[in-house]
Amino acid sequence: MGKITGFLEFERDDRGYEPVEERVKHWREFVLPLSEGETTTQAARCMDCGVPYCHGTSIMTGAPTGCPVNNLIPDWNDLVYRGDWEEAARNLHSTNNFPEVTGRVCPAPCEASCTLNIDDNPVTIKTIECAIADRAISQGLRPEPPTEKTGKKVAVIGSGPAGMACAQQLARAGHDVHVFEKYAKAGGLMRYGIPDFKMEKHHIERRVDQMEAEGVTFHYNAYVGVNVDAAKLVAEYDAVVLAGGAEKGRDLPIPGRGLKGIHFAMEFLPQQNRRVSGEAQVPGAEPILATGKHVVVIGGGDTGSDCIGTSFRQGALSVTNFEIMPQPPEKENKLLTWPDWPWKLRTSSSHEEGAERDFAVGTIEFSGENGHVAKLKCAKVDDKFQPMPGTEFDVKADLVLLAMGFVSPVHEGMIKSLALELDPRGNVKADTVFYRSSNPKVFACGDMRRGQSLVVWAIREGRQAAHSVDKFLMGSTTLPR
């Protein structure tokens, strides 16, 4: 794949960023794409390795290696190298409904699994994927409506990446698909969780337009289990797919938690996304802004990083980021980790904008003045995450954002009313063969089934759930898994 000696001739060259002082002044994407020639050169580096761990399934574990959505990476690298961008786009879309999204927000496990990553020099797979998708979309995103209808009706609950991928696949199979979204617009966490500086929302709008042209009907402000009866949907539709998110955030129940100014990340981030798009806020929601404040973000993952970048753009005086886990090593031990996703220090573009970071830190208490948070009492923690005596310190904070992950879907409403069986972690119980819940007409996929995960995993599960639903309805299916 690519040029036979390309990996020897060409060095890795990836997309750059606008300077910090410029990008923090706006909410637009700030990644600087490579030129067509530079992208072609990078695609030439794909080295025709004997076993391409960047995609596929392990014969030992049955689990995906590299890309969870099974992108045929060496194939479209070769097509880009040879200048056949149209066929590269067809190839890419055959496995991934929304490559322009994963090309922006996926952490690229494919690059970690690239054979060239043994030498810390992987192919720029994510950049090439994004270039293929953007080029294809710029030339016109064509709907793919079915040639005939099946007469079957499917309700998909949730319009995040799992729900949208599932809905699109089922509509292309000829089913009458209805997507129920509790908010005013489609996209789920792609719209309300991911800041615009990482992914502008016109990418979602284009896909919604495409899906509507393929026959998908979107129902907004339709909160199943609250203002839409879940049991009625199950009765009226031939199949129901639960594709909502794992929205129950992990809390920090320590003294002072009830003070004002302490919020979950997913109370903070959606507000700013609505401001950028001009969408009205949720009625009665208290405005949460970092402007002129000392901000502390608790949690070192992607959500915490998004809170950091958003806080700087809102004009925070300072941003401090605490992670309870110990600081990872600068580099992984390739002999122990490759081709699996390694545990190592990762510094996001938001961290580079000026955040102070510290690891192995636990928060012991919030304290405040006049009912509002003003200070955190913290301490270093041991390997059991217990505070170590003598390491206590205080941190000034006017705004605290809890970004410690998500524990499960919200059970109240839809899940409880349908009396669905849960797994030990509180997710809707369903396997990865049939994706069927304890109710034979109800399927579950994405974060609803597997818990908090990546967009690329959500797309994979949405597509596989569509395969299972189509087979359930029709007895057989031509949809890929």
- The amino acid at residue 289 is L
Mean of the pLDDT values across residues 46-59? 86
Confidence tier at 64 by pLDDT (50, 70, 90):
confident
Residue with the two structure tokens 């879907």 = 409
What are the residues whose beta carbons fall under 8 Å from the beta carbon of 138, sequence distance 6 or more?
A: none
Query: In this structure, are residues 215 and 171 in contact, taking their beta carbons and an 8 Å threshold?
Result: yes
- Rama region for 146: left / alpha / beta (φ>0; ψ in -120 to 50; rest): beta
Please say if the pLDDT value at position 59 is more than 80: no
- CATH number for the domain whose boundaries are 251-404: 3.50.50.60
Q: Could you give the angle at the alpha carbon of 342 between the alpha carbons of 340 and 346, nearest 5°?
A: 145
The predicted structure's pLDDT at residue 421? 98
Render 142-199 in DSSP notation, one character per residue.
Answer: -----SS----EEEEE--SHHHHHHHHHHHHTT-EEEEE-SSSSS-THHHHTS-TTTS
Highest mean pLDDT among 55-59, 60-64, 442-446: 442-446
Report domain extents, the chain: 6-138, 153-247+408-474, 251-404
Average pLDDT, integer, range 31-43: 97
Q: Give 61's pLDDT tier (boundaries 50, 70, 90).
A: confident
Crossing angle of helices 125-138 and 85-93, in 10° steps, is 100
Backbone φ and ψ for 74, nearest 5 degrees, come out as -60, -35
58, pLDDT greater than 80: no
Average pLDDT over residues 5-25: 97
Is the CATH code 3.40.50.2000 the one for domain 153-247+408-474? Answer: no
pLDDT attached to residue 56:
79
Phi and psi torsions of 148, nearest 5°: -150, 155
**Residue environment code for 273-301, b if the CB has 16+ CB neighbours within 10 A, otherwise e:** bbebbebeeeeeeeebbbeebbbbbbbbb
* 166 has pLDDT over 80: yes
How far out from the chain centre does Cα 122 lie? 22
Q: Residues 106-137: pLDDT tens digits?
A: 999 999 999 999 999 999 999 999 999 999 99
Whether pTM > 0.75 for this model: the answer is: yes
**Alpha carbons 44 and 91: distance in angstroms, whole number:** 17
- Contact between residue 297 and residue 320 where contact means Cβ atoms under 8 Å apart: yes
Could you tell me the end-to-end alpha-carbon distance of the chain, in angstroms, rounded to an integer? 25
Under 8 Å CB-to-CB from 136, ≥6 apart: which residues?
Answer: 85, 86, 89, 92, 93
Say what the pLDDT of residue 63 is: 77
Instruction: Name every residue whose Cβ is closer than 8 Å to that of residue 81 and which is 6 or more positions away in sequence.
Output: 1, 2, 3, 6, 40, 43, 44, 46
Across residues 135-162, what is the average pLDDT? 97
Residue 65 has pLDDT above 90, yes or no: no
**pLDDT score at 57:** 76
Query: What was the pLDDT predicted at 154?
Result: 98
Contact 75, 89 (CB under 8 A): no
Q: Give the pLDDT of residue 461.
A: 97
Rounded CA separation 217/210 (Å): 11
* Position 387 pLDDT exceeds 80: yes
Question: Which pLDDT band holds residue 50 (cuts at 50, 70, 90)?
Answer: confident
Residues 383-393 have a mean pLDDT of 97
Per-residue pLDDT at 48: 86
Percent of the chain with pLDDT over 90: 96
User: In the structure encoding, which two tokens stand for residue 207, read together?
Assistant: 């896909």
CA distance 396 to 206: 43
Identical fold, 153-247+408-474 and 251-404: yes
| pLDDT above 70: percentage of residues in the chain | 100
76 phi and psi, to 5 degrees? -80, -20
Q: Does residue 349 register a pLDDT over 80?
A: yes
Q: Check whether 453 has a pLDDT greater than 90.
A: yes
Stated length of the chain: 481
440-446-448 Cα angle (round to 5)? 65
What pLDDT shows up at residue 481? 87
Lowest mean pLDDT among 53-57, 279-283, 321-325: 53-57
pLDDT tens-place string over residues 297-315: 999 999 999 999 999 999 9
C-alpha 413/C-alpha 169 separation (Å) is 27
Average pLDDT over residues 61-81: 91
The pair of three-digit structure tokens given for residue 169, joined into one six-digit string: 């696949």
**Model confidence at 49: pLDDT above 80:** yes
Q: What is the DSSP string of 87-103?
A: HHHHHHHTT-S-HHHHH
Q: How far apart are CA 38 and CA 32, in angstroms?
A: 12
Instruction: Classify domain 6-138 by CATH number.
Output: 1.10.1060.10
Q: Is the pLDDT of residue 238 over 90?
A: yes
